[in-house]
């Protein structure tokens, strides 16, 4: 983290495929830079509170976003057509 100048960074994205690894990155980065804006990937919703406590400002679940998008294709198919045009 020191080599990446985390102490002077403004933003960090923790997008590793494993919640435990992202948790470690968020916790470490927050320790180095309390003012950092951190966005973290989340796989298991049960880990959300841990990432928040570790210091993530925003938590994104890519699988949930895809799931919601797929559902919207079935529920409102013309909406996607509207976005494409």
pLDDT tens for the chain, 85 residues: list them.
888 899 999 999 999 999 999 999 999 999 999 999 999 999 999 999 999 999 999 999 988 887 887 787 788 767 655 555 5
Structural domains in the chain, sorted by start: 11-84 (3.40.50.720)
Report the pLDDT value the prediction gives residue 76, as an integer from 0 to 100: 75
13, exposed or middle or buried, with CB in 10 Å at 0-12, 13-18, 19+? middle
Read off the pTM: 0.79
> Would you say 54 and 39 are in contact if contact means Cβ atoms under 8 Å apart?
no
Report the pLDDT value the prediction gives residue 1, as an integer from 0 to 100: 82
> Would you say 19 and 47 are in contact if contact means Cβ atoms under 8 Å apart?
yes
Report the pLDDT value the prediction gives residue 83, as an integer from 0 to 100: 55
């Amino acid at each position: 983290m020191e080599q990446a100048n985390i102490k002077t960074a403004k933003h960090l994205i923790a997008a590793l495929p494993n919640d435990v690894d992202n948790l470690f990155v968020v916790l470490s980065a927050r320790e180095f830079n309390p003012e950092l804006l951190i966005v973290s990937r989340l796989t298991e919703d049960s880990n959300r509170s841990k990432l928040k406590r570790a210091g993530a400002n925003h938590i994104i679940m890519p699988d949930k976003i895809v799931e919601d998008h797929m559902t919207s294709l079935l529920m409102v198919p013309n909406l996607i057509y509207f976005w494409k045009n």
